[in-house]
């Protein structure tokens, strides 16, 4: 089995976002130092995090005494208090933390975080909203990864129209410019299927290509 290399993280702010990042990292086998000013939150996370401490991240001495500078990865998940989020990020970069990921609340917050050297800035609500809208507007697409503005990888269920045909018969790459990277059947996955592979209904096709080509493939072939 593939085991990820164990890493150490600090999560500052144990709201919905920070809390869910913390639980997932632990689930993946990593170590997490969880920090929040709220004692109740810290108590709740004592059983999930490797260590959970009550501390205020806007205080430089506190960050030093927690040894935060020894961590390569810190997540700043302070929700509403933009000032605290900015000051925390600034202190972390001054202490020399290599990789600081910050949750931004709005565009102004994002801009400031960029200026002070945040390494990754995320907008979970905005990103999730876009994903949900994309799912709602195209119900054939089960999941997708945007590689750039133009290219994506999408998961689509094969329709009866495709069933029984081989990849050669369908000539998908030449006709639509998209490539089938893999085919999933329940838990089983076939990476780079043979050209003679016959598609079955309910196969989950993992397709890579230009967004317009993917759309054309969906509209015309499916
Ligand atoms: P979400 O929208 O992700 O649920 P919240 O605003 O609910 O975010 O949670 C942010 C968390 O960050 C809260 O638990 C809050 O106590 C914590 N927090 C806010 N300021 C600080 C700070 N200076 N140091 C540490 N934790 C903080």
By alpha-carbon position, which residue is closest to atom 9 of ligand 1?
15
Report yes or no: 68 and 10 within 8 Å, Cβ to Cβ: yes
Give, for all 222 residues of the chain, the pLDDT tens digit: 456 689 999 999 999 999 999 999 999 999 999 999 999 999 999 999 999 999 999 999 999 999 999 999 999 999 899 999 999 999 999 999 999 999 999 999 999 999 999 999 999 999 888 888 877 877 788 888 989 989 999 999 999 999 999 999 999 999 999 999 999 998 899 998 999 999 998 899 999 999 999 999 998 988
Report yes or no: 60 and 54 within 8 Å, Cβ to Cβ: no
pLDDT at 75: 98
CATH number of 8-125: 3.40.50.720
Neighbours of 182 (CB within 10 A): 16
- Domain ranges in the chain with CATH number 3.40.50.720: 8-125
Spatial separation of the C-alpha atoms in residues 17 and 12, rounded to whole Å: 10
Cβ 77 under 6 angstroms from ligand 1: yes
Spatial separation of the C-alpha atoms in residues 103 and 185, rounded to whole Å: 36
Burial 192-206 (b: 16+ CB within 10 A, else e): ebeeebebeeebbbb
By alpha-carbon position, which residue is closest to atom 20 of ligand 1?
78
Burial label, 210 (beta-carbon count in 10 A; 0-12, 13-18, 19+): middle
- Domain ranges in the chain with CATH number 3.30.70.1450: 132-221
Q: Which of ligand 1's atoms lies nearest the C-alpha of 103?
A: 3
CATH number of 132-221: 3.30.70.1450
Neighbours of 24 (CB within 10 A): 11
Smallest CA-to-CA distance from 118 within 142, 154, 141, 94 is with 94
């Amino acid at each position: 089995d593939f085991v990820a290399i164990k890493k150490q993280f600090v999560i500052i702010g144990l709201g919905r976002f920070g809390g869910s990042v913390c639980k997932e990292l632990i689930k993946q086998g990593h170590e997490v130092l969880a920090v929040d000013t709220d004692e109740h939150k810290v108590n709740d996370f004592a059983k999930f995090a490797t260590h959970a401490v009550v501390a205020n991240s806007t205080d430089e001495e506190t960050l030093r005494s927690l040894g935060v500078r020894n961590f390569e990865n810190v997540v700043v998940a302070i929700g509403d208090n933009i000032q605290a989020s900015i000051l925390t990020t600034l202190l972390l970069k001054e202490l020399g933390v290599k990789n600081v990921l910050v949750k931004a609340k709005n565009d102004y917050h994002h801009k400031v975080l960029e200026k002070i050297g945040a390494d990754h800035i995320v907008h979970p609500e905005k990103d999730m909203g876009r994903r949900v809208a994309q799912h709602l507007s195209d119900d054939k697409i089960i999941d997708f990864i945007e590689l750039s503005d133009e290219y994506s990888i999408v998961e689509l269920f094969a329709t009866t129209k495709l069933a029984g045909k081989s990849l050669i018969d369908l000539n998908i790459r030449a006709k639509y410019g998209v490539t089938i990277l893999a085919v999933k059947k329940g838990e089983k996955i076939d990476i780079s299927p043979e050209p003679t592979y016959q598609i079955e209904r309910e196969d989950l096709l993992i397709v890579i290509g230009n967004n317009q080509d993917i759309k054309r493939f969906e509209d015309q072939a499916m």
